[in-house]
Amino acid sequence: MKRPMAYITAAWGKNEFENTELAVKYCRKIYEAGFTPMCPLLFLPLYLNDEIPQEHKDGVDMARDMLRRSHVLVVCGDVVDENVKNDIAIAERLHITATTLEGILTVKGQGRDKNNG
């Protein structure tokens, strides 16, 4: 079965280890909900140096391309910063549905029998 791609955005903090831990948790939940999670934070820093202006720009461009190819934008966490607002605006312009992680999980859970799961 083909899983639709879901682009994950969040207001990431300064601590890269906490960010990675959160991103993995978000991706797992999105995967369990039936989507293919796309979270640039988890892999772009592995080979791009954000301190180099061209590599920073390339990372932004690659992330935007991933968003364009996704079926849904999933906003995770309780904070909305400028990066999240930009992702939402791009999704809106491209007619890509934007929702929250809670929204995805709520809809996913509607078809479940309360006694079985």
**pLDDT tens-digit series, residues 29-76:** 999 999 999 999 999 999 999 999 999 999 999 999 999 999 999 999
| Cβ contacts of 5 within 8 Å, gap of 6 or more | 35, 36, 38, 66, 69, 70, 71, 72
Q: Is the pTM of this model over 0.75?
A: yes
What are the pLDDT digits (tens) for 9-24? 999 999 999 999 999 9
Q: What is the dihedral of CA 8, 71, 63, 94, to 10 degrees?
A: -120
What are the pLDDT digits (tens) for 84-113? 999 999 999 999 999 999 999 887 776 554
State residue 4's pLDDT score: 96
Q: To which residue do tokens 């709520």 refer?
A: 106
CB atoms within 10 A of CB 39: 23
Domain boundaries, the chain: 20-114
State residue 61's pLDDT score: 96
Report which secondary-structure segment, H or E, holds 56: helix 53-69
Radius of gyration in angstroms for the set of CA atoms belonging to the chain, rounded to a whole number: 15
